[in-house]
Amino acid sequence: MIFIKNVLNLFKNWSYYLWQFIKLGFKSKHEIKMENMALRSQLSLYIHHYEKKQLPTPRPDQAFRQLWVLISKTSSIWRSVLKVVTPKTVIGWHRSAFKIYWKRKSQKPGRPRLSNEWIYEIKKMSKDNSLYSPEKIHEQFSLKGYTDVPAPNTIAKYLPETRKNPTKKQLETWKTFMSNHMDDTWAMDFLTVPTIKFEILYVFVIIHHKTRKIIHFGVTKNPNTAWVKQHLRDATPYSKAPKYLMHDNDPVFRSKEIKDFLYFSGIQPKATSFRSPWQNPYAERVNGILRRELFDHLIPLNENHLHNKLYEYVHNYYNSHRTHQGINSNTPIPTPTHLPVNINQAKLKATPVLNGLYHTYERVA
């Protein structure tokens, strides 16, 4: 009953918005302008009282959220006319809608959950024998004649204490390797971005450890081995290849085709351990930067749209103008050295990037 009631309320709200839109077709331009001015004046009054904390916080309904997600993709001035909430909130509505849509569409990943009886027995045996490994627990159940005994890896999922943090020696050994081969190491990784149509786009990124420069990137709906192999060719022309290439345990990266390609290219792959993103920190870092500085501020229409925006961000801002604390506040592509001057002797000329989301600066006389 609650679901039916929510659907009826959503239909009622959408009918109201649709009727208001239809009524505009029967009004003259003068009437529309006067009505726009009248509505803006009332909205300004409401905002004034709201900022003075004299009115409660507005709570947009689902139809209002869906309408503004649609407006944000059909109007170029939607940010300037949005008053009740911030543009970041509208983008968040789209993200939430995507999560709900994908959760309903997708099945639960991985193997099915064990029965409660198995989970109870596994935890009980582990509690009674604190030194037992998942393999030992598996062997004990097998010896007693149980059928369908879970594999050791499955048993380990229900023993959180078996997952230990990396030791100090492990951290120091990995850090030593990375520091000794910074100039000869690249890293590659995938991250996902939802589109306005709730489709998944995969962004492939290759980054240089020492300079933090994004060497290459690509966008696709189907990141198979042939696609990744071609982009690795594009990233390593004329034998311009690193000595080591770090990656996680993505099945595409660990496939035989990719391993053979890297071997014949003279590149040694370095796969991280399972559940150890700390071993590939620069790729994970650049993924977070791309999300916070680019993908959280736009809703891509399709593959070409996302590729164009990413191209503009990487080549016009990230590689040439964005500073990094890890490389002493320099840019991945070194900027020209300027002679020191006073502020009144030179000015900065700003050039907008991504429609003003960021700006690059050039010193002029």
pLDDT, tens digit (0-9, with 9 covering 90-100), for 328-361: 889 999 988 888 888 778 888 899 999 888 898 8
**Residue 292 has what pLDDT?**
92
Regions of the chain with pLDDT less than 50: none
- Give the CA distances from residue 123 to residues 95, 144, 145, 162, in Å, rounded to whole numbers and listed in that order: 38, 17, 19, 12
Strand partners, 360: 351
pLDDT at 212: 95
Q: CB count, 10 Å around CB of 236?
A: 21
pLDDT at 132: 81
Element (H, E) at 202: strand 200-208
Instruction: Give the Cα separation of 202 and 193 in Å (integer).
Output: 6
Question: For residue range 16-68, what is the model confidence (pLDDT) as tens digits?
Answer: 666 666 666 666 776 767 767 766 676 777 776 667 677 777 777 777 777 77
Phi, psi at residue 158, to the nearest 5°? -100, 15
List the domain boundaries for the chain.
2-105, 116-162, 170-327
Give this prediction's pTM. Answer: 0.62
Question: Amino acid identity of 231?
Answer: H
Q: What is the pLDDT of residue 163?
A: 55
Q: Which amino acid is at 81?
A: V
Q: Which fold has domain 170-327?
A: Nucleotidyltransferase; domain 5 (3.30.420)
Decide if 201 contacts 306 (C-beta within 8 A).
yes
Burial-class residue 140 by CB neighbours within 10 Å (0-12, 13-18, 19+): middle
